[in-house]
Structure 1
């Protein structure tokens, strides 16, 4: 990172351990917040009187804000200092967490989640940068292991913690629990990390590029989030948003390619290996993350699961990932990373096919087993893909390329969530129409009435069955489509050349 002072010596002893714990805890908290709200959406939606599809804005707004702020991390650290930026980001994250918990309307919680994402976006790369800075060179591998472990474990605990808190306490506490952690980490950083502060300089910032990026991403995400409720392009506001997004994107690309210090360095896309890897990453992560959001909603709205048990089902995806990560890291040194990535994504497609056969009568392990198996493929996808992407660019471009990857991965997750929730809802409507036309017969009605059901009870029973079965069919259709997308993303990676160089530890933040 630009502006590092040369006279700083790595920390030692208890100070190093405490500082490392502060950075690991901060990274854990930020990553946890990417998944903790997923299982709580039905609780929040019910409390605020909004639909489940509107409830997903709570997830997408955080992801989009985080994506926008990630490219600014280097500039913020160079302008204000790495530690100061970390401290202010942590304090802001805590403040907006408090406001999220106090929110009484959809508008307020979305605005506060945006603030949370803007403050939290830089914390993940900054925590990694500071870990590499405070640890001696011979211990940096251990430091990255600590950082990676928090990054992997947090998404596992997020759904479980979010579900348990929402059921046993209140959804507000999924945000309130951040406040003491944020305060502790900010205090620890001030007391322990200030000697590691980096030099600052009056750096210029690509304000036009930043404004264009906010414009087109904001227009695109709003269009995707509200499109279904506004009948898509039959509504003039959706048409206007799509035009703004399209024109804004084109102008943004042209500007960034000609700007001396762009907010997003698009020149790294001249490397075929990087471009192919990022396309594969975006397709795979968008498809993967959309399932992480949709499954808990289906379980709670149709299958009668509590938020806690929906969290247990969802969390299984991370268990095998923790076990397989060190194995894949070793394999990456010996095997063509393209083969590992291809296998990993195809494995994700295989686990999607297992979900195609889910029914409204599926038991817990029928639902949880594909999640557990999916975790096996995750490290095969993420770890070698980073090697392919960053190994394709010039060494001096590694930081920029890593920033672009992080930006597009996060943005893909938000876009994928919006598209998948829309497809899920639309498919459920179509399936329900077909089911109702089949079930709503005199024979069915008479059979139920013969069992003692009144006419009103017959209608209510048929309606409930139609709702439940239509949502089961919708989830089947969504995962069948996901399997095809995974297969395509797996094949795309072979368009990349084999990496020309190894990637240093910590390069992929």
Structure 2
């Protein structure tokens, strides 16, 4: 007779607060490590004596391994228990962080980063599952808010912290800072949650599903990371990766759907609320994370910001999300998931709309409002969506649902980043070609401008300065074009939210639903 999953009662008092802090620190550490290494790649590659292009494998290896393991969270939880798996994942993440810092060659670092990404896979989904089970249903929004705040602050703080550590210490310390955080999180989490272990079920290993997952996700992540560098589908290598992704994905879908004991429970998508919420998450994450990457990149390449200044601008979004998250949690029971999610998307659309009018003369004050609105809108939309996708989920399936949802978000980050940078490059080239046509002997304004500049820096210097002006203008117009595209994605997200039917959850739902009144 199969074991029956009986939900544990909520945790009370100081243990709940301490458990929330410990689990949230693990979420923060996980998100921070994804962002903190990016700005340190030039220093790492310089110290290890390799090129920047080779150094990007430090990021790619982590992303590939992480993306493969995340959707396996449900299967691993059923096999080992969510508390044991979470604590083990946190400890192994801490250990692999140490090994990354001790690496003396690129090969060592890439290997240990791959291990680090793999062991980190279950951390985020299980952290949310533990938090939701620790709170009573009426406080589920607060639990989700705690995880959301820490998850969204880490990408904002990562570039600033990574740059500061690299400048003032040495690159291994971007990994060593995980040691005290990881040990504290694992110790407190075990002490608080060890008597709340989930039921373990020994089931056959789906080797075929695991192999297909590794093939298509690995190929997809490498394609996303290297597509821009190789000219996307102009490159036979990228075409090969794309075909491998497509064929592997199709075989994976068919196999996992009909497999009796699948590695990834794709049949959860038969629950309409879950599938619609996952789709909304994709349409929201693509422009959100695309702008998180594109805005600092544009500020540094076009407006002369250094990495620290660009990171400070990006941090405004995370800060406002952090500040408004408690208000969102309080509003949820009164407003409902759907209305609040639509409101958040409207705020995000306003934030993106304000970016469509950017000019090279933009000041930090001009970008403050769009960044602040981005944080407020994200805080108002991501929490309701996260609660919606588990609103019709049996408690025993929460870990699987969290794993699949986190997986779609991870893929969205990769797609959103590559889409934003590639579209920016393409539109920059388009606008540069158009603007250059105006620089001719028949354009009196251009001739006069070059003449005035030439008196100060010479004819060659004037041409160089004019080329720089054209490039900056083209890059700025390309940012505006991307944000018009982003508005379309966010509007699609609103359309999908309207497909979610209002109503009350059934008795088998997880302890978190707050549906529309």
Worse-matched range after superposition: 57-66 or 329-338? 57-66
Contact 2:324-2:379 within 8 A present in 1 as well = yes
**Hey, what's the Cα distance between the residues in 2 that align with 1:380 and 1:61?**
33
**Hey, what's the Cα distance between the residues in 2 that align with 1:423 and 1:203?**
45
Q: CA deviation at 1:395?
A: 6.2
Q: Where in structure 2 are the equivalents of 1:178-327 lying within 5 Å? A: 178-186=178-186, 200=200, 202-327=202-327
**Hey, what's the Cα distance between the residues in 1 that align with 2:373 and 2:255?**
44
Q: Where in structure 2 are the equivalents of 1:9-28 lying within 5 Å? A: 21-28=21-28
**Hey, what's the Cα distance between the residues in 2 that align with 1:371 and 1:191?**
39
Look up the SS of the partner of 2:282 in the other structure. helix
Q: Where in structure 2 are the equivalents of 1:154-169 lying within 5 Å? A: 154-169=154-169
Cα distance change, pair 388–465 in 1 and its aligned pair in 2 (3 A): same
Aligned length, in residue pairs: 504
Q: Where in structure 2 are the equivalents of 1:115-126 lying within 5 Å? A: 115-126=115-126
Cα distance change, pair 138–478 in 1 and its aligned pair in 2 (3 A): closer
- Residue 127 of structure 1 corresponds to 127
- Residue 481 of structure 1 corresponds to 485
Contact 1:352-1:482 within 8 A present in 2 as well = yes
- Residue 450 of structure 1 corresponds to 455
Q: CA deviation at 1:351?
A: 0.7
Contact 1:159-1:311 within 8 A present in 2 as well = yes
**Hey, what's the Cα distance between the residues in 1 that align with 2:170 and 2:474?**
30
Contact 1:360-1:468 within 8 A present in 2 as well = yes
Cα distance change, pair 12–352 in 1 and its aligned pair in 2 (3 A): closer
Cα distance change, pair 25–337 in 1 and its aligned pair in 2 (3 A): closer
Q: Where in structure 2 are the equivalents of 1:44-443 lying within 5 Å? A: 49-50=51-52, 62-101=62-101, 111-130=111-130, 146-186=146-186, 200=200, 202-393=202-393, 397-439=397-439, 443=447
**Hey, what's the Cα distance between the residues in 2 that align with 1:328 and 1:141?**
8
Contact 2:68-2:214 within 8 A present in 1 as well = yes
**Hey, what's the Cα distance between the residues in 1 that align with 2:504 and 2:139?**
26
User: Over the residues paired in the alignment, what is the CA RMSD in angstroms?
Assistant: 3.8
Q: CA deviation at 1:285?
A: 0.6
- Residue 496 of structure 1 corresponds to 500
Contact 1:353-1:483 within 8 A present in 2 as well = yes
Worse-matched range after superposition: 197-206 or 67-76? 197-206
Cα distance change, pair 138–375 in 1 and its aligned pair in 2 (3 A): closer
**Hey, what's the Cα distance between the residues in 1 that align with 2:255 and 2:467?**
54
Q: CA deviation at 1:179?
A: 3.0
Worse-matched range after superposition: 478-487 or 192-201? 192-201
The TM-score, its normalising length taken from structure 2, stands at 0.83
Worse-matched range after superposition: 135-144 or 207-216? 135-144
Contact 1:232-1:238 within 8 A present in 2 as well = yes
The TM-score, its normalising length taken from structure 1, stands at 0.84
